[in-house]
């Protein structure tokens, strides 16, 4: 086999081996609950609509460059034993001007919609918007609804087709707030009061997570955005506004309440339950923890089994997290605490 | 006669091989030291990459755990940038810039040795963190206030990172200064700026970039150090500081750094494509000025790393525009490389294959970079795997593929042996396939909303397939890199029989034997045009631009033949070797002081790390003091070292 044929054959093999990757890529992407190509909010929809034409322009540029490259390599290759010296061509000013202008024009085409959309995304959503304060903590999210006097963790409830205005601050280091299907990222910086606005356009649950490296459990700083109809949202708000302070009727849960409020057990040093002595501000507010779908910064679904697993050894579930128990809880204590926390609906 | 005189001259410095390497000030030996050190670090950085890909190969994997994973990805990035690509570029600067400009050494040979030793010791300080179980874990970008406050990063991890990078920064600055002066002052007669090989041009531009960009990193690192050690609050929001200041300081360094990593490889490509096409570089002037324009613009784009910070739409608009502008000179380069190949007589050697694949792969990285410049799109892509794909297409598909091409191209000159072409081509194809298999799927993961720097992901995210493919690609890439080492090590056991000019080269390094003698050129060459050696070989009809103005240029020069030389203008060379009187070539004497100065500097950094320990804190400042004393004594010795009356230093 001559060298030229070897070269051609290996090139074909290489290209063919890449094709399935690319082809299947186009078929298999988009299936994640965080896939941006299925936007469910105005912000991400506009971003995706901006991306698609840029993508095709890019494909065009790449195909052009690669086609010229491969053709030149094939057409002007030196065959074995061939010893020629081509004309010593130093350049061509017209060509240079042409290929300076072409990228400039392509970039101008990209720049115009880029800049206009950027200013559009930054526009204030108006007085109708739902305002939520977002506080980043290592490694969980706090959501405050000032107009309803509701505080929750890791679950952001918003209303479909109603603009939402997130005012964001961090309790410790820099985080970044990202719900891929609804909007782009906005960093959550201590001492800054960043704002992110968008309008959810689809009812459903959309996962998001921290996008700026923020320490050991950055990967597990997740949350969910629950987009509801106005009626569902109002019902949720009413439920969250209920005090959860009464002693539960279930004796097991009552025992759990007692354990929770005993200062020596340290729970109330970090956690708050409205209407009780638990006023800690370090960890998530647990007033309605039983109503939430996820716990521990989105690592676990909120089931009695998972809650028990968490209370048994939070450091095993999420190594490095800030929840440190003063002592190992007994199985009986865990059972009681789970009953109490689950009763906080 | 010439040879024996040279031997006599060198006999004064005959020492054991080890001492020879430790005290050398020869730019070629220092280049080789850089070469092997950074290749060793490439193996470490590559191994860390394989650990990352092994952790992510399946969802919910527990192979590494969060702390180890964070250390591994931090060190992978830090090593690949500061300990692999930059010093590999430096290896080629060292070995080839003096040869390509017809000089006998760099402007400051001992400073050059110091740069190498400070680089090596700084690297070892950084890597020693693994031995103490405290490898840096804040990312290569080390965002404050996570890194600046002991509240959020209590261990020694970040201290190793800060001190290691400070030592490396000194090494880099010294080296940049050296090459800047060398290129400005030490060119052979007739080598006007616009006759310099493009690799030399890109070295010069890179030196300027380093000189202007690294101080910003240094300042930032000093501020982190003060916040951590001395209770300042530069980045502490609770006391009125602002962590975003670090991001500005870091990216004012960090974006030019990208061009520090890619411009020298672009220079390599601009040497290799013409050689194997047997044509001059198409549009030399445009390629050179495109490089300069890229470098200039690179200082005005840093905030495109910070679009999601919330600086506001007006700053974002400015930085988006300047970022898009950079694509224009970059496109000009790509088209000129294509123009170089067009109409050539292309020889399909391994070096050419790597260089050609650079064009295609770098184009992918370049156009995904344009996507990021579109601010709204970047709100999605930043800190997602899309960005990981992008910069690996630039730094692997760009820098490293070009460096691979340069290794195959220049290995014969450095070691006098030709690398095996069959093994080389196998290495090339495995690399190209493994690279694309690893990094192309990361675009898909970016579309699927996978963020960067996560040690794990759950099975219900639907990210398993492309992570699996990427991991398989990474193993393939690892195996292909081993082939390069097999090739180099087996080649080094063969006899050194490479010809002086194996590729029909165009630049001056091919005019002298492989490997070159200690003094490089028997006679300083006189340069009559671009592609100086090609003109000497094939005649003057190729001469571009005016003939050299300096005297001694009228006769036909053959750099091979010392008796055929005019008395070239030796200003700036420190030696006067005209008329074949090689006995007068004085090589700078070896010196221990560069090594001891670098060791003292590193000791200062190590002392600061010790100071941050719990048990040995009281030893910290005494060690720093010892380091300072060592630096001072070494510098005194350096200053008063008896040097040859005509030494370069």
Measured between beta carbons, the chain B residues lying within 8 angstroms of A185 are: 308, 379-380, 382-383
Residues A215 and A321 in one domain: no
Q: Please check the confidence at residue B539 and state whether its pLDDT lies above 80.
A: no
Residue that finishes a domain, picked among B492, B522, B547: B492
Quote the CA–CA distance of B84 and B400 in Å, as a whole number: 9
Asked whether residue B598 is assigned to any structural domain, the reply reads: no
pLDDT tier at A21 (50, 70, 90 boundaries)? low
Quote the CA–CA distance of B149 and B132 in Å, as a whole number: 21
The residue behind tokens 């304060």 is A133
Contact A29, B448 (CB under 8 A): yes
Residues A177 and A232 in one domain: yes
Asked whether residue A15 is assigned to any structural domain, the reply reads: no
Residues A202 and A281 in one domain: no
Determine, for residues B66 and A3 on separate chains, whether the beta-carbon distance falls below 8 Å. no
The residue behind tokens 């350096």 is B638
Query: A249 to chain B, minimum CA–CA distance in Å?
Result: 38
Contact B308, B451 (CB under 8 A): no
Tell me which residue range forms the domain holding A292. 251-343
Residues B350 and B429 in one domain: yes
**Mapping DSSP to helix (H, G, I), strand (E, B) and coil, where does residue A262 land?**
coil
Note the helical H segments in chain A: 3-28, 42-75, 93-121, 230-241, 251-261, 267-270, 304-312, 314-317, 331-343
Quote the CA–CA distance of A36 and A50 in Å, as a whole number: 12
Mean pLDDT over residues B628-637, rounded? 96
**What is this model's ipTM?**
0.92
Instruction: Output the pLDDT for position B5.
Output: 53
Asked whether residue A26 is assigned to any structural domain, the reply reads: no
Residues 127-156 of A with CB under 8 A from B: 138
Region of A275 please: left (phi>0), alpha (psi -120 to 50) or beta: left
Q: Who wins on pLDDT, A3 or B78?
A: B78
Residues B53 and B110 in one domain: yes
Q: Please check the confidence at residue B536 and state whether its pLDDT lies above 70.
A: yes
Q: Please check the confidence at residue A287 and state whether its pLDDT lies above 60.
A: yes
pLDDT tier at A81 (50, 70, 90 boundaries)? confident
Measured between beta carbons, the chain B residues lying within 8 angstroms of A102 are: 331
**Shortest CA distance from A208: residue in chain B:** B449
What are the angstrom distances between the C-alpha of B15 and each of B10, B11, B12, B589? 10, 9, 9, 12
Instruction: Output the pLDDT for position B14.
Output: 57
Determine, for residues B437 and A21 on separate chains, whether the beta-carbon distance falls below 8 Å. yes
Asked whether residue A6 is assigned to any structural domain, the reply reads: no
Residues B479 and B533 in one domain: no
Residues A36 and A68 in one domain: yes
Q: Which two tokens stand for residue B174?
A: 């010294």
Residue that finishes a domain, picked among A203, A238, A273: A238
Mutate to test the interface with B, among A1, A211, A314 (most CBs of B within 10 A): A211
Q: Which of B78, B384, B73 minimizes the C-alpha distance to B217?
A: B78
> Omega into B145 within 30° of 0, i.e. cis?
yes
Instruction: Output the pLDDT for position B4.
Output: 57
Instruction: Output the pLDDT for position B548.
Output: 46
Asked whether residue A106 is assigned to any structural domain, the reply reads: no
Residues B477 and B563 in one domain: no
Q: Does A61 touch chain B if contact means CB atoms closer than 8 Å? A: yes
Give the sign of the dihedral formed by CA A30, CA A32, CA A38, CA A43.
negative
Residues B345 and B487 in one domain: yes
Percent residues over pLDDT 90 in chain B: 87
Give the sign of the dihedral formed by CA A125, CA A128, CA A129, CA A133.
positive
Mutate to test the interface with B, among A51, A106, A187, A316 (most CBs of B within 10 A): A187
Quote the CA–CA distance of A75 and B633 in Å, as a whole number: 63
Determine, for residues B451 and A178 on separate chains, whether the beta-carbon distance falls below 8 Å. yes
**Mapping DSSP to helix (H, G, I), strand (E, B) and coil, where does residue A175 land?**
strand
- For B462, the closest of A32, A76, A194 (CB atoms) is A32
Q: How many CB atoms lie within 10 A of CB B11?
A: 8
Q: Which two tokens stand for residue A218?
A: 């950055």
Angle between helices B157-185 and B109-128 (to 10 degrees): 160
pLDDT per residue as tens digits for the range B400-417:
999 999 999 999 999 999
Measured between beta carbons, the chain A residues lying within 8 angstroms of B338 are: 65, 68-69, 72
Instruction: Output the pLDDT for position B565.
Output: 37
What are the angstrom distances between the C-alpha of B207 and each of A173, B177, B251? 35, 7, 18
Q: Please check the confidence at residue B646 and state whether its pLDDT lies above 50.
A: no
The residue behind tokens 């500061």 is B82
Average pLDDT, chain B: 90
Quote the CA–CA distance of B232 and B225 in Å, as a whole number: 9
Asked whether residue A22 is assigned to any structural domain, the reply reads: no
Angle between helices B350-373 and A93-121 (to 10 degrees): 40
- For B313, the closest of A68, A118, A192 (CB atoms) is A118
Buried b (16+ CB within 10 A) or exposed e, B26-62: bbbbbbbbbbebbbebbebbbebbbbbbbbbbebebe
- Bridge partners, residue A155, by sequence: A224
Residues A231 and A262 in one domain: no
Determine, for residues A61 and B313 on separate chains, whether the beta-carbon distance falls below 8 Å. no
pLDDT tier at A26 (50, 70, 90 boundaries)? low
Q: Please check the confidence at residue B619 and state whether its pLDDT lies above 70.
A: yes
Determine, for residues A187 and B310 on separate chains, whether the beta-carbon distance falls below 8 Å. yes
Query: A241 to chain B, minimum CA–CA distance in Å?
Result: 32
pLDDT per residue as tens digits for the range B50-101:
999 999 999 999 999 999 999 999 999 999 999 999 999 999 999 999 999 9
Q: Does A7 touch chain B if contact means CB atoms closer than 8 Å? A: yes
Determine, for residues A18 and B436 on separate chains, whether the beta-carbon distance falls below 8 Å. yes
Write down the pTM of the prediction.
0.91
Asked whether residue B134 is assigned to any structural domain, the reply reads: yes
pLDDT tier at B3 (50, 70, 90 boundaries)? low
- For A107, the closest of B328, B335, B544 (CB atoms) is B328
Measured between beta carbons, the chain B residues lying within 8 angstroms of A22 are: 440
**Shortest CA distance from B145: residue in chain A:** A173
Instruction: Output the pLDDT for position A4.
Output: 58
Q: Please check the confidence at residue B549 and state whether its pLDDT lies above 60.
A: no
Residues A220 and A273 in one domain: no
Q: Please check the confidence at residue B424 and state whether its pLDDT lies above 70.
A: yes
Residues B282 and B329 in one domain: yes
Strands (DSSP E) along A160-252, which ranges?
164-170, 175-177, 186-188, 194-198, 204-209, 222-228
Q: Who wins on pLDDT, B6 or A190?
A: A190
Residues A164 and A63 in one domain: yes
Contact B49, B87 (CB under 8 A): no
Pseudo-torsion of CA B439, B441, B446, B450, nearest 10°? -100
Residues 20-39 of A with CB under 8 A from B: 21-22, 25, 28-37
For β-strands A175-177 and A164-170, DSSP reports them as unpaired
Residues A51 and A172 in one domain: yes
Helix (H) or strand (E) holding B126: helix B109-128
- CB pairs < 8 Å spanning A and B: 311
Note the helical H segments in A250-343: 251-261, 267-270, 304-312, 314-317, 331-343
Say how many domains are in chain B: 2
Asked whether residue A36 is assigned to any structural domain, the reply reads: yes
Instruction: Output the pLDDT for position A246.
Output: 78
Phi, psi (rounded to 5 degrees) for B600: -60, -40
Quote the CA–CA distance of B120 and B106 in Å, as a whole number: 19
Determine, for residues A90 and B544 on separate chains, whether the beta-carbon distance falls below 8 Å. yes
Asked whether residue B260 is assigned to any structural domain, the reply reads: yes
Residues A272 and A171 in one domain: no
Percent residues over pLDDT 90 in chain A: 78
Instruction: Output the pLDDT for position B579.
Output: 41
Contact A336, A253 (CB under 8 A): yes
**Mapping DSSP to helix (H, G, I), strand (E, B) and coil, where does residue B45 land?**
helix
Quote the CA–CA distance of B231 and B565 in Å, as a whole number: 65
Asked whether residue B590 is assigned to any structural domain, the reply reads: no
Contact B574, B647 (CB under 8 A): yes
Instruction: Output the pLDDT for position B649.
Output: 41
Quote the CA–CA distance of B203 and B178 in Å, as a whole number: 11
Residues B476 and B538 in one domain: no
pLDDT tier at B552 (50, 70, 90 boundaries)? very low
Residues B387 and B530 in one domain: no
The residues, ordered by sequence, that sit 6+ positions from B326 with a Cβ below 8 Å of its Cβ are: B294, B297, B298, B301
CATH code for the domain of A288: 2.60.40.420
Asked whether residue B532 is assigned to any structural domain, the reply reads: yes
Quote the CA–CA distance of B176 and B115 in Å, as a whole number: 9
Quote the CA–CA distance of B102 and B589 in Å, as a whole number: 20
Q: Which of A53, A199, A184, A187 minimizes the C-alpha distance to B377?
A: A184
Residues A209 and A310 in one domain: no
Residues B473 and B388 in one domain: yes
Residues A48 and A171 in one domain: yes
> Omega into A139 within 30° of 0, i.e. cis?
yes
Quote the CA–CA distance of B334 and B394 in Å, as a whole number: 13
Residue that finishes a domain, picked among B492, B526, B541: B492
- For B310, the closest of A31, A69, A186 (CB atoms) is A186
Q: Please check the confidence at residue B546 and state whether its pLDDT lies above 70.
A: no
Tell me which residue range forms the domain holding B531. 511-582
pLDDT tier at B581 (50, 70, 90 boundaries)? very low
Q: Please check the confidence at residue B369 and state whether its pLDDT lies above 50.
A: yes
pLDDT tier at B16 (50, 70, 90 boundaries)? confident
Region of B142 please: left (phi>0), alpha (psi -120 to 50) or beta: left
pLDDT per residue as tens digits for the range B454-486:
999 999 999 999 999 999 999 999 999 999 999
**Mapping DSSP to helix (H, G, I), strand (E, B) and coil, where does residue A150 land?**
strand
Residue that finishes a domain, picked among A190, A216, A238: A238
Asked whether residue A52 is assigned to any structural domain, the reply reads: yes
> Omega into B110 within 30° of 0, i.e. cis?
no
Say how many domains are in chain A: 2
Residue that finishes a domain, picked among B565, B582, B599: B582
Instruction: Output the pLDDT for position A22.
Output: 67
Q: Please check the confidence at residue B554 and state whether its pLDDT lies above 60.
A: no
Residues A263 and A211 in one domain: no
Asked whether residue A111 is assigned to any structural domain, the reply reads: no
CATH code for the domain of B117: 1.20.210.10
pLDDT per residue as tens digits for the range B273-328:
999 999 999 999 999 999 999 999 999 999 999 999 999 999 999 999 999 999 99
Residues B32 and B71 in one domain: yes
Quote the CA–CA distance of B544 and B535 in Å, as a whole number: 10
pLDDT per residue as tens digits for the range B146-200:
999 999 999 999 999 999 999 999 999 999 999 999 999 999 999 999 999 999 9
Measured between beta carbons, the chain B residues lying within 8 angstroms of A35 are: 447-449, 462
Residues B435 and B577 in one domain: no
**Shortest CA distance from A108: residue in chain B:** B324
Residues B384 and B312 in one domain: yes
Asked whether residue B211 is assigned to any structural domain, the reply reads: yes
pLDDT per residue as tens digits for the range A251-270:
999 999 999 999 999 999 99
The residues, ordered by sequence, that sit 6+ positions from A67 with a Cβ below 8 Å of its Cβ are: none
The residue behind tokens 């070096």 is B351
Q: Does A240 touch chain B if contact means CB atoms closer than 8 Å? A: no
């Amino acid at each position: 086999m001559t060298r030229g044929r070897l070269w051609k054959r290996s090139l074909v093999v290489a290209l063919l081996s890449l094709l399935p990757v690319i082809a299947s890529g186009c078929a298999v992407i988009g299936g994640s609950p965080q896939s941006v190509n299925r936007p469910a909010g105005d912000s991400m929809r506009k971003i995706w609509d901006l991306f698609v034409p840029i993508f095709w322009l890019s494909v065009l540029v790449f195909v052009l460059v690669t086609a010229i490259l491969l053709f030149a390599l094939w057409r002007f290759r030196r065959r074995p034993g061939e010893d020629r010296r081509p004309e010593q061509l130093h350049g061509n000013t017209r060509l240079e001007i042409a290929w300076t202008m072409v990228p400039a024009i392509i970039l101008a085409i990209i720049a115009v919609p880029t800049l206009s959309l950027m200013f559009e995304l930054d526009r204030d959503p108006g007085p109708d918007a739902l305002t939520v304060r977002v506080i980043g903590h290592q490694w969980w999210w706090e959501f405050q609804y000032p107009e309803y006097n509701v505080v929750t963790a890791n679950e952001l409830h918003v209303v479909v087709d109603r603009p939402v205005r997130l005012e964001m601050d961090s309790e410790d280091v820099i985080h970044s707030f990202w719900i891929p299907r609804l909007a782009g990222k906005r960093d959550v910086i201590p001492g800054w009061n960043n704002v992110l606005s968008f309008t959810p356009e689809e009812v459903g649950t959309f996962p998001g997570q921290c996008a700026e490296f923020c320490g050991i459990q950055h990967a597990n700083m997740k949350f969910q955005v629950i987009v509801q109809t106005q009626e569902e949202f109002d019902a949720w708000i009413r439920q969250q506004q209920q005090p959860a302070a009464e002693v539960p009727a279930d004796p097991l849960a009552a025992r759990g309440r007692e354990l929770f409020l005993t200062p020596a057990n340290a729970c109330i040093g970090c956690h708050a339950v409205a209407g009780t002595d638990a006023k800690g501000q370090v960890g998530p507010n647990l007033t309605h923890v039983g109503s939430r779908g996820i716990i521990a910064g989105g690592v676990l679904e909120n089931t009695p089994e998972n809650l028990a697993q968490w209370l048994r050894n939070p450091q095993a579930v999420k190594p490095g997290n800030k929840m440190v128990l003063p002592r190992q809880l007994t199985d009986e204590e865990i059972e009681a605490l789970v009953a109490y926390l689950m009763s906080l609906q | 006669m010439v040879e024996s005189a040279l031997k006599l001259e060198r006999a004064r410095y005959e020492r054991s091989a080890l001492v020879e390497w430790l005290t050398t000030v020869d730019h070629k030996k220092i280049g080789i030291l850089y070469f092997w050190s950074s290749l060793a670090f490439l193996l470490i950085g590559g191994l860390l990459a394989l650990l990352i890909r092994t952790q992510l190969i399946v969802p919910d994997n527990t192979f590494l755990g969060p702390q180890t994973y964070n250390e591994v990805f931090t060190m992978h990035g830090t090593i690949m940038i500061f300990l692999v690509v930059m010093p590999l570029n430096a290896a080629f600067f060292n070995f080839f810039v003096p040869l390509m400009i017809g000089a006998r050494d760099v402007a400051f040979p001992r400073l050059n040795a110091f740069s190498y030793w400070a680089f090596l010791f700084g690297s070892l300080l950084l890597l020693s963190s693994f031995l103490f179980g405290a490898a840096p874990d804040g990312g290569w970008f080390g965002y404050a206030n996570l890194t600046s406050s002991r509240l959020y990063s209590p261990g020694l991890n970040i201290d190793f990172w800060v001190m290691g990078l400070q030592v490396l920064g000194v090494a880099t600055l010294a080296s940049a200064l050296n090459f800047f002066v060398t290129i400005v002052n030490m060119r052979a007669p007739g080598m006007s700026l616009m006759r310099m090989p493009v690799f030399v041009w890109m070295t010069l531009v890179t030196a300027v970039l380093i000189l202007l960009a690294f101080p910003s990193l240094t300042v930032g690192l000093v501020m982190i150090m003060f916040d951590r050690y001395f209770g300042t609050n530069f980045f502490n929001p609770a006391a009125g500081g602002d962590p975003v200041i670090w991001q500005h300081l870091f990216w004012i360094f960090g974006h030019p750094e990208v061009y520090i990593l890619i411009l020298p490889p672009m220079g390599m490509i601009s040497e290799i494509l013409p050689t194997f096409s047997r044509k001059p570089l198409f549009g030399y002037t445009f390629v050179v000025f495109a490089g300069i324009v890229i470098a200039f613009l690179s200082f005005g784009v840093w905030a495109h790393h910070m679009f999601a910070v919330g600086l506001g739409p007006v700053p974002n608009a400015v930085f988006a525009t300047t970022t898009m502008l950079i694509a224009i000179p970059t496109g000009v380069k790509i088209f000129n490389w294509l123009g170089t190949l067009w109409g050539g007589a292309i020889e399909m050697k391994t070096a050419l294959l790597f260089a050609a694949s650079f064009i295609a792969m770098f184009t992918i990285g370049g156009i995904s970079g344009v996507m990021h410049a579109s601010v709204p799109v970047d709100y999605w892509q930043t800190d997602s795997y899309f960005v990981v794909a992008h910069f690996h297409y630039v730094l692997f598909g760009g820098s490293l593929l070009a460096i691979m091409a340069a290794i195959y191209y220049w290995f014969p000159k450095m070691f006098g042996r030709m690398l095996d072409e069959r093994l080389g081509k196998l290495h090339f194809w495995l690399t190209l396939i493994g690279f694309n298999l690893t990094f192309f799927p990361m675009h898909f993961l970016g579309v699927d909303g996978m963020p960067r720097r996560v040690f794990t992901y759950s099975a219900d995210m639907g990210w398993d397939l492309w992570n699996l493919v990427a991991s398989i690609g990474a193993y393939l890439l690892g195996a292909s890199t081993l082939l390069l080492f097999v090739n180099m090590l087996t080649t080094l056991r063969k006899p050194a029989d490479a010809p002086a000019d194996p590729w029909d080269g165009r630049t001056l390094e091919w005019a002298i034997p492989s490997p070159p003698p200690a003094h490089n050129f028997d006679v300083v060459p006189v340069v009559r045009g671009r592609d100086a050696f090609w003109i000497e070989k094939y005649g003057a009809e190729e001469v571009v631009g005016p003939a050299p103005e300096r005297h001694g240029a009228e006769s036909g020069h053959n750099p091979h033949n010392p008796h055929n030389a005019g008395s070239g203008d030796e200003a700036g060379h420190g030696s006067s070797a005209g008329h074949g009187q090689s006995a007068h070539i004085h090589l700078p004497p070896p010196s221990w002081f560069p090594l001891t100065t670098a060791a003292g500097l590193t000791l200062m950094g190590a002392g600061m790390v010790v100071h941050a320990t719990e048990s040995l804190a009281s030893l910290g400042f005494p060690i720093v003091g010892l380091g300072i004393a060592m630096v001072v004594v070494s510098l005194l010795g350096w200053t008063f070292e008896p040097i040859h009356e005509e030494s370069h230093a």
